[in-house]
Structure 1
Amino acid sequence: MRNDMHEANRLSWNAATVAHNSHKGDQAAFFRAGGSTLYPEEVELLGDLAGLDLLHLQCNSGQDSLSLARLGASVTGVDISDEAIAFATRLSAESGIRATFERADLFSWFEEARVAGRRFDRVLASYGTICWLSDLGVWARGIAGVLKPGGRFAFIEFHPFAMIFDATWKPHYDYAPREPVAEAGIGDYVADAGSNLAVGGYHEGVVGFTNPHPSLEFNWGIADVVQALIDAGLRIERLTEYPYANGWIGFQAMRELGGRRMGPPETMPSLPLMYAIVAEKS
């Protein structure tokens, strides 16, 4: 585990979160009006949530967590960012949708939850999460440790194959490099995606954001993820690849496919841009 790198990323996320939420307008009003930020994929992966306890890992500012609570789950969201958890807590109160949000490094949180005997029917990790984690073994064992018997882990993530490309679709990076990749800092991807991620209506907000805090990313291959979950004692029930990315405009000339799904340019062949896993605890 590299807690020093996690701490560097916490600072970078704190700065980026302020910029991201500046583009989303009155989110409490969006939720009070019945809004949801979920995509069909995660709803399908999780199944019926009515009356279930759900843990949302790396929940960011809580918009998806509150959308899940609206489906009937009792939701706990965990994130390393102080800014994200503070925003999520306010949004829960102002929207009238009940959820619990806890700020912690995920690895420390897992150990404390294990000792306290906390258990959940569903665990979700969604979109841009594991690249911030330095050890998938600790992650997978933590998930297994907080799932109830028969509980389900749903995971949806951007495809690691897509991460070999730079922004111009030119192959540039190694697939699942062994060492973390240093970046200038978490950028304003909400500004890049516009209404795809600011679903309540895009606002200009912060302009020309530059993150003062560098970040480090850990790029894991699909085999790394699957094996970590198997080693933790979970049973893989489903592995799916998708030829589109939900909301994310990570490359030049991506085209809208409908439903806030983005695909590569028409001049390119189809390629996997997301994948999903469902794993269960016996």
Structure 2
Amino acid sequence: MDAVEMDVAEMNRLSWNAATVAHNSHKGDQAQFFRNGGSTLFPEEVALLGEIDGSSILHLQCNSGQDSLSLAALGAAVTGVDISDSAIDFARTLSAESGIAADFERADVSAWLRDAGATGRKFDRVFSSYGTVIWLPDLDEWAEGIAGVLAPNGRFVLVEFHPFAMCFDEKWSLTYPYGGGTPVTEPGGVGDYVADSADLVLPGAQGDGVENFENPFPSCEFNWSIAEVLGALRRAGLTLESFDEYPYANGWQGFEEMAELGGKRWGVPAGRPEIPLMYSLSVRLAD
């Protein structure tokens, strides 16, 4: 089906369904990884979320649930939401096989937030990370939805790849616009970034899985500036607590010749000027 013949959410659902199967094919025995106490969280999100034992967490765009289960293992009651049927099916199976309880719901994130707010669902933390904002066609709807499900004194934590870095293609050529929310259709759809990033493959699983993956479904992304993200959160009545930029990317080897910094962090190639590759923010409901 041609990209113009389906809406964006359906296009992306189909593209992520195909890609998710490829992604998880490289990751080995993930249930065993979690049963052995493994975690996929990075220090940045753990620090920003703070003490979560006994709290309720809504994990938006949770993908296949690895971070959701890592949060649940720390004592949180976690609900993960993702648009991909394949991802949610995998997350539910991984939860059962790892013995870590979490709830997973398949839905478009904005529609889910709208419905959850209308029915009075509340969470102590809302969390999202790494390659999520680019899939949102309407930041105001997203931000208002987050504000609508936060419990009193609740916080939203986001750790995300920097939109300035997303202006470059994999060869460091300036290719894409900074911000504006203009739809950018990728005919090749969601790629197999796990196969391209050895850091994302669990120990012992290297070389396994789908080879030469080609996604039969296109995808559509939206480039949003940091000002646009912060503006939407402010208009939704959320108050900024913290904002940071980082000269490295966690778990993402998205450009050629990136420098391996340790701890599954990647920086710009040696000899190139340093640029921000990642940012984080924490907001809470205004009093």
TM-score (norm 1): 0.97
Correspondence for 1:74: 77
1:200: how far off?
4.2
Q: For 1:258, give the aligned amino acid.
A: G
Note if contact 1:27-1:200 (Cα within 8 Å) is conserved in structure 2: no
Correspondence for 1:226: 230
Correspondence for 2:213: 209
Please give the per-residue CA displacement for 1:217-275, whole angstroms capped at 9, x wherever unaligned: 01100000000000000000111000000010110000110100000111101110000
Correspondence for 2:278: 274
Note if contact 2:163-2:223 (Cα within 8 Å) is conserved in structure 1: yes
Correspondence for 1:186: 190
Correspondence for 1:168: 171
How well do the aligned residues superpose, as a CA RMSD in angstroms? 1.2
Q: For 2:214, give the aligned amino acid.
A: T
1:166: how far off?
1.4
Gapped runs of 5+ residues in structure 2?
none
1:164: how far off?
1.4
Correspondence for 2:65: 62
Q: Does 1:257 align with 2:257?
A: no
Note if contact 1:6-1:133 (Cα within 8 Å) is conserved in structure 2: no
Identical columns (%): 63
Correspondence for 2:107: 104
Please give the per-residue CA displacement for 1:32-84, whole angstroms capped at 9, x wherever unaligned: 01100010000011000010000000000000000000111000000000000
After TM superposition, the structure 1 stretch with the greater mean CA deviation from structure 2, 117-126 or 164-173, is 164-173
Gapped runs of 5+ residues in structure 1?
none
SS of corresponding position for 1:144: helix
Q: Does 1:126 align with 2:110?
A: no
SS of corresponding position for 1:212: coil
SS of corresponding position for 2:7: helix
Correspondence for 1:239: 243
Correspondence for 2:161: 158
1:177: how far off?
4.1
Note if contact 1:37-1:199 (Cα within 8 Å) is conserved in structure 2: no
SS of corresponding position for 2:275: coil
Note if contact 2:137-2:181 (Cα within 8 Å) is conserved in structure 1: no
Please give the per-residue CA displacement for 1:103-143, whole angstroms capped at 9, x wherever unaligned: 00111111211122100000001000011110000000000
How many pairs are equivalent?
A: 280
Note if contact 1:244-1:261 (Cα within 8 Å) is conserved in structure 2: yes
Structure 2 CA distance for partners of 1:90 and 1:178, relative to 1, 3 Å? closer
Structure 2 CA distance for partners of 1:160 and 1:35, relative to 1, 3 Å? same
Correspondence for 2:252: 248
| 1:197 pairs with one of 178, 197, 200 | 200
Correspondence for 2:144: 141
Q: For 1:202, give the aligned amino acid.
A: A
TM-score (norm 2): 0.95
Note if contact 2:28-2:202 (Cα within 8 Å) is conserved in structure 1: no
Note if contact 1:22-1:205 (Cα within 8 Å) is conserved in structure 2: yes
Structure 2 CA distance for partners of 1:63 and 1:200, relative to 1, 3 Å? farther
Q: Does 1:41 align with 2:44?
A: yes
Please give the per-residue CA displacement for 1:188-210, whole angstroms capped at 9, x wherever unaligned: 0000001x112344332000000
CA–CA distance in 1 between the matches of 2:180 and 2:173? 17
Correspondence for 2:116: 113
CA–CA distance in 1 between the matches of 2:242 and 2:179? 22
SS of corresponding position for 1:160: coil
CA–CA distance in 2 between the matches of 1:275 and 1:251? 17
